[in-house]
Amino acid sequence: MRFLMLGLLFCCLPSWALVPPYYGKSNKDYRWAAEAEVGLSSTRGNSEVESYNSRLKVGLDTDRTHQEATFTSNYSRDGQTTSAERYKLELQSDGKFWPNYYVFLRGSQLFDRFGSYQSETTVASGLGTTLFSRHYTSMKFEIGPGYRLQKVPEGSLESDNREAILRTVLKYERRIHERTRFNAGIEMETGSENSIGQLDASFTNQLWGDLALKLGFYYRYTKVVDPDKANFDTQSSLNLLYTF
């Protein structure tokens, strides 16, 4: 299944790159951007370890709106035993109503086979603003209420968690060099029963053309988990990134 998904990802890239959805309008009306990244590793010999992670991000920007969709996956197997399997889909729509201000509607779906919660569905809406935007540096802030559903694995003695949350996000981007940039995002989802914090940071260096090398770090903290589970998950990655 994982190799099929990876193959479909690469097979679809040419069609996305060649047919942007302008729908009869000029490129000035629709600004389309997308990027895909993948990292693979395989070890054979005394031990057999196989892992991969991938990410696809698609954005469509106009004078009044911004649409964005992101899909990420992480899989790892040691011999015949799967040790990690995680997929996440995020969708967000922004409506620009004032210079440097926008309203957003966001939804996400997370599947984590080995987490305390097998799936997590979150919806949120609120207000976002660009705190500052200069030639090389920008920072955005978002805040708003939402709702989260966390479903436990089948057979678990715990019950599903449903609650209202407050979501706050800080997004930072710095272009260090013409070919190098740094991105960082901090996200908090605070609820009365459970709270989740995430840090997603990366360095991206352009190699040639639309191909780049990306060094990433991901940290996620969940306040309430099963006794046999850790409160935090971390992931470090070195991926090839293709922008189109």
Torsion over CA: 110, 111, 114, 118 (sign): positive
User: pTM score > 0.85 for this model?
Assistant: no
Q: What is the pLDDT along the chain (244 residues), one digit of tens a residue?
A: 433 343 433 333 333 332 333 333 344 556 899 999 999 877 666 567 789 999 999 999 999 999 999 999 999 988 788 888 999 999 999 999 998 999 999 999 999 988 889 999 999 999 999 999 988 999 999 999 999 999 988 877 778 899 999 999 999 999 998 889 999 999 999 999 999 999 999 999 999 889 999 999 999 999 988 888 888 889 899 999 999 8
Q: Which residue has the tokens 């997370």?
A: 110
* 6-9 contact pairs (CB < 8 A, 24+): 6/38, 6/52, 6/54, 9/36, 9/38, 9/54, 9/56
CB 123 within 8 A of CB 90: no
Instruction: Name all contacts of 130-139 with Cβ < 8 Å and 24+ positions apart.
Output: 130/100, 130/101, 133/100, 136/174, 136/175, 136/176, 137/172, 137/173, 137/174, 137/175, 138/172, 138/173, 139/170, 139/171, 139/172, 139/173
At residue 17, the pLDDT reads 32
- Exposure of 36 by Cβ count < 10 A (0-12 exposed, 13-18 middle, 19+ buried)? buried
